[in-house]
C-alpha cells in the first residue's frame, strides 16, 4: 500500500521532468521573453517548447537582446529586423535564412555554414565575413563597409549600396541583380568583372572628371548673354525685383 502511494506521488514529477526544462529565466530581455510566450502560447517557456521551432519572427518588438536563442536548436529562419539589437548571440548552426536589418549591429557573430539568405541592411556594420557560405541572396545596404569579399559565392542577388566601398570584385558570379550604388566607387571600372548585364543602377556613381556645367544661354549671341547675366547678377546680388 505504501509502495503504491510513493509511486503515485513520484509519477507526476517524472512526467513533468520529461515534458521539458523551464528556461523562462534564460530570456533576460522582457520584450523577447514576451514574444516567445506569445508564439508558444504559454507563460512558462520549456526547452521542448522551442526546440522544434524552425522559424522565429520577432520583428518590431523593441528587443534589445536575443539571450535564450541558443535553445532554438532546430531553427532555420530568424527574422528579427526593426529592433534595438546592438549585437546577436551565437546563432544556431541550423539557420539558413537571417534577416536582421534595421537594428544597431556593429558586427555579426560567426555565420552558420549553411546560410543561404542574409539581409543585414540598415545597421552599423564596418566589416562582413561571408567567405565560403552558400549565399544566394545578400543585402548589406546602408552600413559602413569599406570592403566586401564575395568571390566564389553562388550569389544571384547582391545589394551593397550606400556603404563606403571603393571597389567590388564580382568576377565569376552568376548574378541576376546587382546594386552597388552610393559608394565611394567612381565608375563601373571599379566593379571588377562587371559585364554590363545586370540591374546595377549605375547612375549614382560619382564621375572622376564630371563634365563642366554650362548655362543654357551660352550659345546665344554675346550681347544677349551680357544682358541676361547683368539681369541675373542684379537679381541675385543686388536684390532687384
Residue 111: how many other CB atoms lie within 10 Å? 20
20-211 folds as 3.80.10
Confidence of residue 14 (pLDDT cuts 50, 70, 90): very low
Q: Give pLDDT tens digits for 51-87.
A: 999 999 999 999 999 999 999 999 999 999 999 999 9
The domain locations on the chain are 20-211, 212-241
What's the mean per-residue pLDDT of the chain? Answer: 83
- Give SS3 for 228: helix
In terms of DSSP bridges, do strands 117-119 and 137-139 run parallel, antiparallel, or are they unpaired?
A: parallel
Q: What is the pTM of this model?
A: 0.76
Give 137's strand partners: 117, 157
Average pLDDT score over residue span 189-194: 80
pLDDT at residue number 1: 47
Confidence of residue 241 (pLDDT cuts 50, 70, 90): very low
Give the residue among 114, 58, 55 at the shortest CA–CA distance from 88.
58
CA max distance for the chain: 121
**Is residue 231 pLDDT above 70, yes or no?**
no
pLDDT at residue number 186: 78
Amino acid at each position: 500500500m505504501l509502495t503504491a502511494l510513493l509511486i503515485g506521488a513520484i509519477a507526476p514529477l517524472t512526467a513533468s521532468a520529461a515534458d521539458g526544462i523551464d528556461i523562462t529565466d534564460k530570456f533576460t530581455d522582457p520584450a523577447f521573453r514576451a514574444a516567445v510566450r506569445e508564439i508558444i502560447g504559454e507563460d512558462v517557456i520549456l526547452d521542448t517548447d522551442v526546440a522544434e521551432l524552425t522559424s522565429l519572427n520577432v520583428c518590431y518588438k523593441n528587443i534589445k537582446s536575443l539571450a535564450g536563442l541558443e535553445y532554438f536548436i532546430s531553427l532555420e529562419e530568424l527574422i528579427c529586423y526593426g529592433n534595438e539589437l546592438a549585437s546577436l548571440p551565437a546563432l544556431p548552426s541550423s539557420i539558413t535564412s537571417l534577416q536582421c536589418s534595421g537594428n544597431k549591429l556593429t558586427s555579426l557573430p560567426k555565420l552558420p555554414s549553411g546560410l543561404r539568405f542574409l539581409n543585414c541592411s540598415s545597421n552599423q556594420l564596418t566589416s562582413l565575413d561571408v567567405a565560403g557560405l552558400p549565399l544566394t541572396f545578400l543585402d548589406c545596404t546602408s552600413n559602413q563597409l569599406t570592403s566586401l569579399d564575395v568571390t566564389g559565392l553562388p550569389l544571384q542577388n547582391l545589394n551593397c549600396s550606400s556603404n563606403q566601398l571603393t571597389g567590388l570584385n564580382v568576377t565569376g558570379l552568376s548574378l541576376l541583380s546587382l546594386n552597388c550604388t552610393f559608394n565611394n566607387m567612381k565608375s563601373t571600372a571599379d566593379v571588377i568583372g562587371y559585364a554590363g548585364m545586370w540591374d546595377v543602377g549605375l547612375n549614382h556613381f560619382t564621375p572622376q572628371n564630371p563634365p563642366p556645367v554650362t548655362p543654357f544661354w551660352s550659345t546665344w549671341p554675346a550681347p544677349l548673354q551680357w544682358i541676361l547675366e547683368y539681369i541675373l547678377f542684379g537679381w541675385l546680388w543686388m536684390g532687384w525685383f
